[in-house]
Amino acid sequence: MKTESNYANKKILVLGLAKSGFAVAKLLKKMNSDVTVVDSNPLAGNDEAKKLLDAGFNVITGSNDPKLIDNSYDYVVKNPGIPYSNELIKNAEKIGVPVITEPEIAYSFSDATTVAVTGTNGKTTVTTLIQLMLAHSPKFKKSYYAGNIGIPISDVIQKATKDDVVVTELSSFQLEGTIDLHPHVAVLNNIYSAHIDFHGTRENYINAKMHITKNQNKDDYFIVNWNTEEWRDLAKQSKANIMPFSDEQELNDGAYLKNNEIYFNNEFVMNTESIQVPGEHNVQNALAAINVAKIFDVSNEDIIDVLVSFKGVKHRIQYVDKFNDRKFYNDSKATNIEATIVALSAFKSPIVLIAGGLDRGNGFDELVPYLKGKVRNIILYGETADKMIDAAQKSGIENITKVNNLKEAVPEAYRQSKSLDVILLSPAAASWDQFDTFEQRGDQFIEEVEELKGKDNG
């Protein structure tokens, strides 16, 4: 790890704790910065704040008063989920204090090779696949993953050396707060419309995503999904070497799909039947990962070994269990319509769908053609339930049930299911109306399935 950075020996306010705020505060303190931590949650029950207080940090809890920031600070590091409409953030910008996010800090201290992954859907799967493949690269001693995948980059870069590689998943929330972030390899898996409530417009959302390549140069690589004209046009913004991938067209360079066979630079790699996780989207995820693996000389044999043994990522079309001829899948990470479309497209068996969550103001008519003929029963809950009932009716689903919460939804879905059905949690909405995180939502689904299985076996 490097000890010199624009963020060493500075006066910095960290706004918002959780995992990333806690980690970056400790890193900055280690680098001799004067750190003040502000968290709106009260001290009672705030374990991260208590640990920092015990370690001698200046910690302010139960408030994020705009007056807590003044021009004596060099930077504000905000939790990615805190909107720029927050009054303290607005005051910082008004007085000229730059507002950044944790990846900007962490990357500045890293001397490991860096690979960064973004996109609307599939980020975690691609990040995981790349990390597993690069564990076989002859160019690195160790490979790590971090970022939006749930592991703070600030923790990982302190372990990684110049002989290692760190693969990071970066959300639009994280990327918008970056200035000098410069990954050697950047991956754009796809871009759909998402998080417009946070970014304001789709254009702003895309601009945030494109921060991943803005500091790259001719010695770097930008891996881009080549399936749409929009994504191909976005690649023109990058100064890096462009490496496309596609499951819809043959390419002269990069990874592509032809007759259910994967090729890289026109060399056969493997058959898609060997990929264990379901869905065409996972073929795309594999293609993106293969492009990165090939940059670092990973063999076809090692690539195949990863793809035939990989069972999926938790909360991303995660296989949970099978009993009484029903299969249960947890896709709690489907916080938008596009992700649920991907999940619905992954299965050929009849689906009993559990969906609903935070109302961000959008309708769900985009789901209609994907519900039609695939979803026999739908169980809805949360703020979006009534809007999704409308979409379900338009799709011709006869069995539409509204319940109060996920705890009620799981046994109801099981009660309505038939032999060989897939029971799928894929909410098409964020979790924050009833849960703190999508992980919490997915964990509850798994618990409810386990409870059902116990009763069924009893």
Q: What b-and-e string marks burial along 10-27, b requiring 16 or more CB atoms within 10 Å of the CB?
A: bebbbbbbbebbbbbbbb
Q: What are phi and psi of 174, to 5 degrees?
A: -70, -45
Contact predicate 350/338, CB 8 Å:
no
Query: Would you say 121 is a known binding-site residue?
Result: yes
According to CATH, the topology of domain 103-309 is UDP-N-acetylmuramoyl-L-alanine:D-glutamate ligase (3.40.1190)
Query: Would you say 201 is a known binding-site residue?
Result: no
Question: 3-class secondary structure for 124-154?
Answer: HHHHHHHHHHHCCCCCCCCEEEEECCCECHH
What is the residue extent of each domain of the chain? 11-100, 103-309, 318-457
147 sits in the region (left: phi over 0; alpha: psi -120 to 50; else beta) called left
CA nearest 147: which of 120, 175, 121?
175
CATH says 318-457 is which class? alpha beta
Q: Is domain 11-100 given the CATH code 3.30.530.20 in the classification? A: no
Per-residue pLDDT of the chain (458 residues; tens, 9 = 90+): 898 899 999 999 999 988 999 999 999 999 999 999 999 999 998 999 999 999 999 999 999 899 999 999 999 999 998 999 999 999 999 999 999 999 999 999 999 999 999 998 889 999 999 999 999 999 999 999 999 888 999 999 999 999 999 999 999 999 999 999 999 999 999 998 777 778 889 999 999 999 999 999 999 999 999 999 999 999 999 999 999 999 999 999 999 999 999 999 999 999 999 998 877 889 999 999 999 999 999 999 999 999 999 988 889 888 899 999 999 999 999 999 988 998 999 898 999 999 999 998 999 999 999 999 999 999 999 999 999 999 999 999 989 999 999 999 999 999 999 999 999 999 999 999 999 999 999 999 999 999 999 887 65
Query: Would you say 384 is a known binding-site residue?
Result: no
Q: What are phi and psi of 124, to 5 degrees?
A: -65, -40
Query: Would you say 178 is a known binding-site residue?
Result: no
379 sits in the region (left: phi over 0; alpha: psi -120 to 50; else beta) called beta
Measured distance CA(42)–CA(100) in Å, rounded: 24
Query: Would you say 124 is a known binding-site residue?
Result: yes
